Amino acid sequence: MERENKIKQNRNKRNYSTSITSNSPEVDPETIGQYTTLKDKNKKEIYKGDIFNLGDNRILYIVEWFDTGLSGRQNGNSSRVGLQYWQDKIEVIGNIYDNPELLKEE
């Protein structure tokens, strides 16, 4: 009963911990990205919200939902690339939640 009360209390306080233990990190559900089922050239999983390049560090892409699936939108314009087609060249370098500074245009 105490555990159930603690879970309810945490939900009411908008505590997004995945567990009720004190050493669990808080997770904001807005920062959870959908897994694309693909991996980049370094075997890193690719998620919605990831930032990647295709070999040129000056041209970055963001994994976003578009039309009927996830694709990469070039930062600063509306050009898109297919993730599956370019999978062997994709290098994930961060994400929009933890590394927003990567998207600042110079």
pLDDT of 15 over the 60 cut: no
Instruction: Write out the DSSP string of 58-104.
Output: TSEEEEEEETTEEEEEETTS--EE-HHHHTTT-EEEEETTT-GGGG-
pLDDT of residue 17: 47
Identify the structural domains of the chain with CATH numbers, from first to last: 1-29 (no CATH), 33-103 (2.30.30.290)
Model pTM above 0.75? no
CB 91 within 8 A of CB 53: yes
Which has the higher per-residue pLDDT, 18 or 26? 26
pLDDT single digits (tens) 38-91: 999 999 999 999 999 999 999 999 999 998 889 999 999 999 999 999 999 999
